[in-house]
Structure 1
Amino acid sequence: MIRWFLYHTAEDPFAFPVGSGLLKLRLFVQNGQQLSCTVIHSDRYDTPGSEIPLPMERIGSAGAYEIHEAVLQSATGKCRYLFHVENPAGDYVWYGERGLSENREHAGSFQYAYMHRPEAVKLPSWSSDAVVYQIFPNSYNGGTLKGITEKIPYLHQLGITAMYMTPIFESTTDHKYNTSDYYKVDPAFGSTEDLKALVDEAHRHGIRVLLDAVFNHSGDTFFAFKDVLEHGENSRYKDWFVIHSFPVVQTPSPNYETFAKAVSIMPKLNMDNPDVADYMMEVSKHWVREAGIDGWRLDVANEVSPRFWTRFRRELKAEFPELLLIGEIMHDSGPWLRGDQFDGGMNYVLRDAVLEFFAEQYAGPVRFMEQLLHQEALCNDQANSAMFQLLGSHDTLRFLTACKQG
């Protein structure tokens, strides 16, 4: 029996709706075999023999495998399908839910049970072609929100359509990732009124505004953690954090979970605690209502409970459907971009590929293109269109600096 490498599963990012009654299928096939692929599909309840053949398009090579795609149409949203894969010599296999077989019936069929409408993820209307400008407030035009507001006409002239600011809430550091008060703009930057004025001026120039939300951890000066430091095991907030023992010790090594590794000023929040989740949900809604912001960039999103993010998306999108949600994930972000958590991610995987090719000159254009196709295939189309396609950020070297070092 022929044994080619083939891979598909009837779930995102290998099967996902792209519109009303439209299902995109993605198939990985062994590279170098010149294989042609056809998807045979029908309604799940149709009788055998009513299937429709649909040739698949070869998108390109991603190293050891090729990517083939097709978009099938279903009037009912209930899809049954399998693949017919053939080489130039006429050798072929059927590929279905039960694996590879030269016998069609033995291969079985994949089932996409039903295309529920919400599965065709609707992104904010402004997001897919947005040109985003990142601002680190502490070091931008005087380090204040008023200073940023003064520069909005200039940013508009540059062609910027959205800006993302790193944290602006009260904190003891210049980067503000150790939040003291989630409801207060840091006085060093200005006030809530200054933020409102900034957002209003940005909107007058057609620029959307995203803020940075830090829900993975707080600062050690956050009211709840201060209470734990004072009252120890008797604190009503002890379960807001992940504390291993009492009394709480901060130095030389904290006995509680933190951001990264032993960063004592950033205690990790227990987002599985309903009280913590409720608190942060209200924070996230407050600033959209109060200041009219257009989105959240979620810090260390991959270490926060997925249950919280599912709720986060559901509640925010219900009230603010045009709000953009971007997760900071510095590796493959596909698992968070299935339509139930974030709209897009910060595409550090793309940055890695671009750096490897342009700065490090590690490999040639073939590997570069393979990496781009591989990365694109890990997400559905909607998520890919909402990615922050960045070459650098406050967490990295500037791209030009990296190129010069390379």
Structure 2
Amino acid sequence: MARNWIYHNSHDLFYRNPFGAVPCNQQVELKIKLQLISKIDTVTLRIWKEGEDKNDFIMTPLQGEEGVYFVQITTPPTTGLLWYYFMVVTNGRGYYYGNNVAKQGGIGEISEQLPRPYQITVYQNKVLPPTWFYDAVIYQIFVDRFYNGNEDGKVLNPKKNSLIHAHWENDPIYIKDEKTGRIARWDFFGGNLIGVKKKLPYLKDLGIRIIYFNPIFEAQSNHKYDTGDYHKIDPMFGDEEIFLDLVNEAKKLGISIILDGVFSHTGSDSIYFNKEGNYPSIGAYQSKNSPYFSWYRFNEFPDWYDCWWGIDLLPNVNELDTSYQNFVIYGQNSVLKHWLSTGIKGWRLDVADELPDTFIKRFKEVLKEQDSEAVLIGEVWEDASNKISYGQRREYFYGEELDSVTNYPFRKIVIDFLLGHKDAFAVHSTLMSLYENYPIHYFYSLMNLLGSHDVPRILTVLQEELPQHLNLEQKRNMSIARLKIATLWQMTFPGVPSIYYGDEVGLQGGNDPFNRRGYPWGRENHDLLEWFQKMIAIRNDYDVLRTGEWISLFFDSDVYGFVRQIKDGLDALGQRRKANTAIVLFNRNLFEERRIVSDISKWVPNGRLKNLLNLHEEIVIEDGVFILTLKPLEGKLLIRDQ
């Protein structure tokens, strides 16, 4: 009996139609193919909605297709995950066919034991991401490290016992108590909102359409994830009048603002908890009669309380507390409503996996009531379709919660490929798994990042895994070439690219705090900056690179790529867009070129493709075949207008 005598490929429309995630009450056809079998007793699909009983459906032979069995099912009327596998009985002996060991969908595996099931995400088209968001490029700003806009360089309202760096070029540091390991003094560089306003023309020229701010509300730390007052801009950054001015000036340039909302915990040094007694309020730490007492969970009042990851500076809140929800969501001057009234266009929810689904749903509902075009992004580090947090399956993309998530899996895939940890086929399989699991509108709204305040700088990471015999200049040149490929990938891939401030000019740094250095004004890598500007401009110019259909391609271990296409004037989301086709390819090999011969007749039967990265180069397509050579660490962006 052949090793692969049972076959199903969830990425192939012949075997699963429609592809990927599907809405509620949608018909899905599933097929399986059997080979070299003399006697088939039964072929059965076992399928179930998570948390419910399993259902078995007898599959029937497909007329005209030898060995192919099919069944049609209808997705349930409620959202959730469906799981399925196949059972085949031949000559009285039973076999299973389920997902592969990587659980990535596509071609599965035969087993005589219960197999890993395939996933179908069932969602509802209730409130889809706003269409403007698909066309944006995000720029993330850690305010203290971006730019000091004061003419005299004066730092606004320094905090007590803080360290103010005398030189912008200094390395960030943590000053800790030797005995306790706690932060003894926070260090600051003096960046502020005036500085962001002054640099708006720079961001406009770069091609940015969204600024995402790390938290800007009053807090004692430099990172501001220990909120002290949700209704007040941190005085070191400015005030609400300055913020309003910034929002309005940004809007004139076509740039929207998204704020970071930290709602799973507050600071212990806050109006609400007031452990240090720095606020005139009666905080929850001070009295059980505090209006904020019900927000927190005390095991033993006042010193033993639930806190974020055991850090007592960050007491956790009960997000389902009525008083807390009124304060954050529902009240006339709630945090959500107050800042939306200033003209911002959305929120990023910090540690979304620590916020209850109910809280996120209510937050989104009121957000959309206030502004249907506002966007809600969640911080998620894994596949958001099947994320389990604290024992609960999360519901981010079922249609009632988030518009987008931070796409850390994308970052990992890019790095793994460029550093040689995964070959092109593994990249293809991993990306196809995300494509299959995410509803299409969410796949195209993912916040595709290469850097953030929580991970080492991308250029620093891309200097790894280089041969030891190379000198420093060669290593630097190769890491920059890798970053150019990564940026080409990011700017031509479905989703919303996000640039962490300074990555576009080669800012480097390892783990926190070194990934939070000051933007190197006057010391930029201008070659890299021009590359970013070029790639963003190309993305902004071509609809097909933003919302065109995406088809994954792999050639050999070192060459990966994809096709983007808009046919008949309709993009992948059903929007009317200009028809064209693009092919993106990159060779990660450090020293060897790769010659590619491929049949692309499905997308370009004949004609010429121009390379947007080298306008002197054209690729001639004859009988649907293209032949090209990729130099070491070279990417190509080929396009043919229809």
Whether contact under 8 Å (1:78, 1:114) holds in the other structure is: yes
Paired AA for residue 403 in structure 1: L
Match of 1:95 in 2: 45
Q: Superposed, which structure 2 residues align to 1:35-54 within 5 Å?
A: 35=8
Cα distance in structure 1, aligned partners of 2:455 and 2:27 = 46
Cα distance in structure 1, aligned partners of 2:307 and 2:396 = 22
Q: Superposed, which structure 2 residues align to 1:116-265 within 5 Å?
A: 119-142=125-148, 143-226=191-274, 227-231=283-287, 233-246=288-301, 248-249=302-303, 255-259=304-308, 261-265=309-313
How many aligned residue pairs are there?
339
Larger helix percent: 1
- The alignment partner of 1:126 has SS state of helix
TM-score by length of 2: 0.49
- The alignment partner of 2:337 has SS state of helix
Cα distance in structure 1, aligned partners of 2:78 and 2:293 = 43
Match of 1:314 in 2: 365
Whether contact under 8 Å (2:16, 2:29) holds in the other structure is: no
Match of 2:13 in 1: 57
Q: Superposed, which structure 2 residues align to 1:360-371 within 5 Å?
A: 361-371=420-430
Cα distance in structure 2, aligned partners of 1:365 and 1:129 = 28
Q: CA 1:306/1:78 → structure 2, altered by over 3 Å: closer, same or farther?
A: closer
TM-score by length of 1: 0.75
Match of 1:385 in 2: 444
Deviation at 1:68, TM superposition (A): 4.1
Cα distance in structure 2, aligned partners of 1:377 and 1:396 = 27
Whether contact under 8 Å (1:161, 1:208) holds in the other structure is: yes
Whether contact under 8 Å (2:31, 2:71) holds in the other structure is: no
- The alignment partner of 2:310 has SS state of coil
Cα distance in structure 2, aligned partners of 1:171 and 1:96 = 53
1:283 to 335, 338, 349: 335
List per-residue Cα deviations over 1:265-311 (Å, max 9, x = no partner).
1111110111111111110111011x100110110111011111111
Whether contact under 8 Å (2:124, 2:398) holds in the other structure is: no
Whether contact under 8 Å (1:124, 1:323) holds in the other structure is: yes
List per-residue Cα deviations over 1:342-369 (Å, max 9, x = no partner).
101001111122222223x212111111
Deviation at 1:110, TM superposition (A): 2.8
Cα distance in structure 2, aligned partners of 1:36 and 1:331 = 23
Q: Whose relative contact order is higher, 1 or 2, with alpha carbons under 8 Å and at least 6 apart? A: 1
Paired AA for residue 307 in structure 2: T
Whether contact under 8 Å (1:82, 1:95) holds in the other structure is: no
Cα distance in structure 2, aligned partners of 1:118 and 1:284 = 25
Deviation at 1:170, TM superposition (A): 0.5
**% of aligned pairs identical?**
30
2:75 to 99, 112, 117: 112
Paired AA for residue 58 in structure 2: S
Cα distance in structure 2, aligned partners of 1:83 and 1:69 = 7
Quick check: 190-199 or 121-130, which moved more? 121-130
Match of 1:270 in 2: 318
Match of 1:64 in 2: none
Cα distance in structure 2, aligned partners of 1:272 and 1:128 = 32
- The alignment partner of 1:183 has SS state of strand
Deviation at 1:330, TM superposition (A): 1.5
Cα distance in structure 2, aligned partners of 1:215 and 1:145 = 22
Cα distance in structure 1, aligned partners of 2:433 and 2:19 = 19
Which structure has the greater CA radius of gyration?
2
List per-residue Cα deviations over 1:135-157 (Å, max 9, x = no partner).
00011111111100111111111
Whether contact under 8 Å (1:84, 1:93) holds in the other structure is: no
Match of 1:84 in 2: 31
Cα distance in structure 2, aligned partners of 1:343 and 1:32 = 41
Q: CA 1:219/1:33 → structure 2, altered by over 3 Å: closer, same or farther?
A: same
Q: CA 1:274/1:84 → structure 2, altered by over 3 Å: closer, same or farther?
A: same
Name structure 2 gaps, 5 residues minimum: 48-54, 62-69, 80-122, 149-190, 275-282, 386-394, 466-642
Q: Superposed, which structure 2 residues align to 1:315-354 within 5 Å?
A: 315-334=366-385, 335-354=395-414
RMSD (Å), alpha carbons: 3.1
Q: CA 1:112/1:146 → structure 2, altered by over 3 Å: closer, same or farther?
A: same
Cα distance in structure 1, aligned partners of 2:124 and 2:57 = 32
Cα distance in structure 2, aligned partners of 1:242 and 1:376 = 40
Paired AA for residue 110 in structure 1: I
List per-residue Cα deviations over 1:170-212 (Å, max 9, x = no partner).
0101111101110000110011111111111111111111010
- The alignment partner of 2:463 has SS state of helix
Match of 1:20 in 2: none
Whether contact under 8 Å (1:225, 1:237) holds in the other structure is: yes
Cα distance in structure 1, aligned partners of 2:271 and 2:404 = 32
Paired AA for residue 241 in structure 1: Y
List per-residue Cα deviations over 1:23-81 (Å, max 9, x = no partner).
xxxxxxxx8955478xxxxxxxxxxxxxxxxx9626xxxxxxxx844279xxxx95555
Paired AA for residue 75 in structure 2: Y
Cα distance in structure 2, aligned partners of 1:180 and 1:241 = 15
